[in-house]
Structure 1
Amino acid sequence: MQGVQLVVAAVLGLQQPIVVPPVAPALALDALHAGAWQDEQDPTDSLWRAARQAFDRGDYTSAANLYGDLTRRYPSSTRAGDALYWAAFALYKNDDLNQARSLLVTQQRRYPKAATLRDGNALLARVQTALAKQGDEEAARWLSIQAQPPQPPESPEVGRNAAGQACPDEDDDDDVRIAALNGLLQMDATNALPILKKVLMRRDACSAGLRRKAVFVVSQKRGAETEDILLNAARNDPDSECRQQAVFWLSQVGSDRAVAALDSILRTATDPELQDKAIFALSQIHQGRAGEILRNYAANDRSPDEAREKAIFWLGQERSPENAAFLRALYTRLTGEELKEKVIFSLSQMGGDDNGRWLMEIALNDREPVEMRKKALFWAGQTGTNLDQLVGLYDRMQNQEMKEQLIFVYSQRHEAAALDKLIRIAKTERDTELRKKAVFWLGQSHDPRAVQALMEIINQ
């Protein structure tokens, strides 16, 4: 009894409020304009602060004027180039696209070392796209020029460029080029798709990053040609990440051809990540043979267990009687505990009376491994199995571990009957370890009846 009382005393101690000493307030950092608060002697400081405050409150006209005034009055200051970007951004927010474009071009020409230059280039692509949609010929020409892929080096080596040097960082150029391609695709897909195909046909080592971005841009346009491009990239691109992205975006196509290609990739791929993407893509296609392919793969003993687990998981996310019946039947044929556990979890996610009854059958089956029984019992409790059934089960259960699991299941149910059962176990259970478990979980409850029960146990 002393051991149980010590546990109760400790539990009650944990329920007392903890007094936290006051903490001095920390200084807030300005994330929007990192480094904006410079030396007080900086003559641009007051203008910068006023412009920032105007921008933050949505007064974009005032913000653009103040940022522009800073650049005009202090063109050689360290903030001048960044002020042009923020002025252009404010104008963009106000739909003053022509003036925004002018300021961004000025930033590129006069302030090539500005901290916001890369953001400015990306914003310029957005501005040009918006202008091109309005019929601006200059913007349309800019998009077409920027969208053109760069010339690949001759005789490239894997991982190095033609000069034998490591690939340069092309992120800035690639980001602008991809933004331009995306804009061109939105307004003129006929001209954009051939350019994207050229990008994806490149095989020089330094083009992999650009090809990955191009796959995403292609995926944003629906149509037969889009499907052809994605299928080709999924099957033939030498870059693993590029293939994975193409497979992922095939889920948005959903045609019979796409499903057949995903089936082939799933069965023949040796790259586990590519298989994972194929499984996910098939799980997102709710028509045709996609579900059948996933079920066949999950049932195939020759498939890798980790990939089968993922197939089982995604089958559980598609709540259909067909998938539920398949998973219940599959469980009886499985030998690996991890696969069995995944089936239990997937059926619990589906919900439904049939699956709830099945979980309880597994929990009560003495021939099942105790870990599987415990997991089935836990998920049965989580998915709304009748509490009266769970409460009545404790006294009939002989297995110690299963009784411990039942105590935990009661603790996760917030009905009065579950708390009543925990109190009875804490007061009357002959097994000291089980009583301690019940006492512990009573201590996690904020119900006054739990506190009263713990006090009564201490005073016994």
Structure 2
Amino acid sequence: MRHLTCTFIFGTLLSASSVIIAQQPPSIVHAQLSTASASNGLEPQLERMKHTDAPTWVGYSIPVAEDFHSGSQSDHIAYLEGDHAGDSYNTIDKENTPFDHAVVLLRIASGHIENIRLENPDRQLDAGGLHFLWLNGVAPTDSIHTLQTIALKDDSNHLRDTAIFAISLHQSPETIPALISLTSPNNDLALREKAAFWLTNRHGHEGFAAIQHLARTDTDPKFREKLCFDLTLSKDSGALNELIRMAHSDTSPQVRKQAQFWMANIGGKKVAGDLRDLAENDPDNAVRKSAVFALSRLPGNEAATQLIQVASSSKEPSIRKQAVFWLGQSNDPRALDYLTKLLAQ
């Protein structure tokens, strides 16, 4: 019992130590450095900085949902100001170590946030002589809310996209709901697409479930078309089945074509039968032809196998012609044999 008690106490101290370390500012040089507590909220601190005359960097630490690594580990110094493309970095020779937290950096000037950066916690920051405020105790929920506001209100694509990515990093129950809210039809398409991308890229089954719901209920075919690619990023076993469903059932021909293309790229032989069925039975001729093209994207010798079958058995002349065309682009010897015999007839 004493051993268990000691182990528990040691583990508790270790966890507390990790939290404290995560709150420590990184190494910061060439800065007018100050620290403050964000225990009363992140927004009040940011509003205070917006009323200062000179540009200011504000930094804080967040726990991340997956191991984080930003850029090349050899770039040990991150220059926050100026063009340092030609400078010699103080390089270090070590493996790309992932981190369980990341540093969020906000540049405030002329009364608003004009830049967001994300850095490794062990990277030295060069603030270029500016004021740098390090905030302790920033709650992940406050951070997400602030970044969400930036994503919704700012016209800069770079700032918006970085804010959405930063939201996706957070280890917080608020992360997925925040990303889902950004996919709302009330938002512009580019913002919706970026939020959907990071939902599938970083958030496992919950992210997939959110994208699946959007694929089945959203009324914008341009958005659903983009979701086809997002599904290829998901490691969830249901992603391929959802692409197959979209290829068969989506009301938009363009969405069905995109779903065909991406299911061929990730499904391989598993989707050959579905693509042949679509090439024969989809009500839209352009989609039928697209299914033949998707067959040509199957890996290995499967493409030639399926194209020969379509060229030999399709009831529709235009589909047979399309299959012959893509066989002509193939390097598979069987394709040449088939075409030679076809010409000899």
CA distance in 2, matches of 1:403, 1:264: 44
Q: How far, CA to CA, are the matches of 2:212 and 2:280 in structure 1?
A: 28
Q: Based on CA coordinates, which of the two structures has the bigger radius of gyration? A: 1
Deviation at 1:251, TM superposition (A): 9.1
The CA deviation at 1:442 is: 0.9
Partners of 1:251 and 1:333 in 2: how far apart? Answer: 38
Is 1:433–2:333 an aligned residue pair? no
Kindly indicate whether structure 1 or structure 2 has the higher relative contact order, using CA contacts under 8 Å at least 6 residues apart.
Answer: 2
Cα distance change, pair 411–272 in 1 and its aligned pair in 2 (3 A)? closer
Residue number in structure 2 paired with 1:314: 198
- Correspondence list, 1:235-384, <5 A: 236-238=108-110, 243-244=114-115, 247-249=116-118, 256=140, 257-299=142-184, 301-365=185-249, 368-384=251-267
Could you tell me which residue of structure 2 aligns to residue 194 of structure 1?
32
Query: Quick check: 2:151–2:160 contact (8 Å CA) kept in 1?
Result: yes
1:279, distance to aligned residue in structure 2 (A): 0.9
Which residue does 1:459 correspond to in 2? 344
User: TM-score, normalized by length of structure 1?
Assistant: 0.47
Query: Within 5 A, what are the aligned runs for 1:69-218?
Result: 189=28, 192-194=30-32, 203=54, 212-213=81-82
Unaligned 5+ runs, structure 2: 1-25, 36-49, 56-78, 84-88, 90-98, 122-134
Q: CA deviation at 1:390?
A: 2.8
Query: In structure 2, do the counterparts of structure 1 residues 452 and 330 end up closer, same or farther at CA, with 3 Å as the change threshold?
Result: same
Comparing both structures, which one devotes a greater share of its residues to strand? 2
How far apart, CA to CA, are the structure 2 residues paired with 1:409 and 1:352?
Answer: 22
The CA RMSD measured in Å over matched residues stands at 3.8
441 and 286 in structure 1: CA distance in 2 versus 1, 3 angstrom threshold: farther
% identical equivalent positions: 23
Alpha-carbon distance in structure 2 between the residues aligned to 1:390 and 1:291: 33
- C-alpha displacement of 1:336: 1.9
Q: Please identify which structure carries the higher helix content.
A: 1
Q: Is the 8 A contact 2:275 2:292 kept in 1?
A: no
Q: Which runs of 4+ in 1 moved over 6 A?
A: 250-254
1:354 Cα deviation after fit: 1.2
> For the residues of structure 2 that align with 1:428 and 1:375, how far apart are their CA atoms?
25
Supply the distance in 2 between the matched residues of 1:293 and 1:285 (Cα, whole angstroms): 11
Where in structure 1 are there 5+ consecutive unaligned residues?
1-184, 205-209
> Given the superposition, is the C-alpha separation of residues 422 and 339 from structure 1 closer, same or farther in structure 2, using an over 3 Å criterion?
same
CA contact (8 A) 2:275 2:294 kept: no
Distance (Å, rounded) in 2 between the aligned partners of 1:422 and 1:372: 22
Counterparts in 2 of 1:251 and 1:275: CA distance versus 1, 3 Å? farther
Determine if contact 2:248/2:256 at 8 Å carries over to the other structure.
yes
Range moving further from structure 2, 421-430 or 437-446? 421-430
Q: Residue 440 of structure 1 aligns to which amino acid in structure 2?
A: F
Tell me how far apart the structure 1 counterparts of residues 225 and 120 of structure 2 sit (CA, whole Å). 27
TM, length-normalised to structure 2: 0.61
Residues 376, 251 of structure 1: CA spacing in aligned structure 2 closer, same or farther, 3 A cutoff? farther
